[in-house]
Amino acid sequence: MNKLYFAGLLLLLCTTYLPLPAVAQNKYKHPPLTDQHAHRNVRALYANLQEIAGQGILFGHQDALAYGVMWKEEEGRSDVKDVCGAYPAVFGWDVSKLGKSRYNIDTVYFEKMRHWILEAYKMGAVNTISWHMDNPVSGGTAWDTVSAVAAILPGGPKHEMYVAQLGLFASFVKSLRAGFPRKPVPIIFRPFHEQSGPWFWWGKGNCSAEEYKALWRFTVEYLRDTIGLNNLLYAYSPDIVESAEHYLEFYPGDEYVDILGLDDYRDVELLSGQEALTRRLELVTRLAAEKGKVAALTETGYEGIPDSSWWTDVLLRRIKASPEAQKIAYLLVWRNANPKHHYAPYPGHGSAPNFVAFKSDPALLFQDNMPKMYRFPKKK
């Protein structure tokens, strides 16, 4: 009887304290990222982006700390903060002209950009970088549509030039370190965006889908494997699309993408297109769910914001029109260059009061009410 008792007790103890399956034990610490060696804070950021989808949307603004309407390089200033009392939760930057000039295409000095990226990270916000890369064949801007993608692929006449550009980018990203001990700052990297349109040299009609995919894959593999850059999340962001097939036309594969984005300006400007924004966001969030990715509205906005209630009556309304559309993790509006070219309000702007109402909606997350993005969310 004693032997049976102790055998039963041993069996009970073993089954009670068996380790949980790895997925249950470590739901967030090892998300399916493009970079399986991503730093811990990068994995935490991605886990939080997954966690907030459907619960809240991080609001972002391009170049928010660098300048605004009628001001430039005033420490701690932001048009968004001036209007609503809080910084954006996401800060967008662009590294065009890196290595060719001290400042980028929008006259943001790279040394100061580095400082502002670190400031955004220290306040708990998210940084995302795009790259309006000059045409490597013609030497023109990103909008010079001379065919160039094939030339920078391995074996192409401009391949070494492209590799050198990636090296400059990697050096800049590696310099983004903060904390004690110093850690690499996570960056959402969004190269070769809006490829579904024809306006960039990497866009539709200027290269084949297969060339684009090869360029994306080489870029990821070179930065991740050859250089060892382990603080990037990769965002794929076509312009407006009509179907899943259209969205995936240039898609390089699940193993090369972390975030499924959408750039959509047209649908938020045209009254006839506003319902289309909801539909397109539903398409992206469904694809993201199927693939285990994060969805985002990676660029949007209404230039000049001539509609004083646009923030709540158009942008927020169309996102909240569908539970599926609302599953984007963040949205980002473009930059505030001057009184004619701006996408966020500034003090005295006609839409400023409505932006305050927009900010107060529970669906929106700004820097003052966002989760701690660089700590793993608590297990449920």
DSSP 202-217: TSBTTB-HHHHHHHHH
Confidence of residue 273 (pLDDT cuts 50, 70, 90): confident
Q: Is the pLDDT of residue 278 over 60?
A: yes
For 16-30, 81-95, 251-265, which range has the lowest pLDDT when averaged over its residues? 16-30
Torsion of CA 109, 202, 39, 86, to 10 degrees: 50
Which residues make Cβ contacts (< 8 Å) with residue 111, sequence separation at least 6? 102
For 13-22, 72-81, 223-232, 330-339, which range has the lowest pLDDT when averaged over its residues? 13-22
* Averaged pLDDT for residues 184-188: 99
Residue 35 exposed, middle or buried by CB count within 10 Å (0-12, 13-18, 19+): buried
Go through the chain and tell me how many residues it has: 380
Q: Is the pLDDT of residue 175 over 90?
A: yes
Q: Is the pLDDT of residue 105 over 80?
A: yes
pLDDT tens-digit map of 1-56: 444 444 444 444 444 333 433 333 345 556 689 999 999 999 999 999 999 999 99
**Residues of the chain with pLDDT > 90: what percent?**
88
Relative to beta strand 294-300, strand 259-264 is: parallel
Q: What is d(CA 119, CA 303) in angstroms, rounded to the nearest whole number?
A: 27
pLDDT at position 203 is 99
Q: Could you tell me how far CA 60 lies from the centroid of its own chain?
A: 9
pLDDT at position 209 is 99
List of domains in the chain: 31-365 (3.20.20.80)
The residue among 262, 272, 353 whose CA lies nearest residue 307 is 353
Q: Could you tell me how far CA 222 lies from the centroid of its own chain?
A: 20
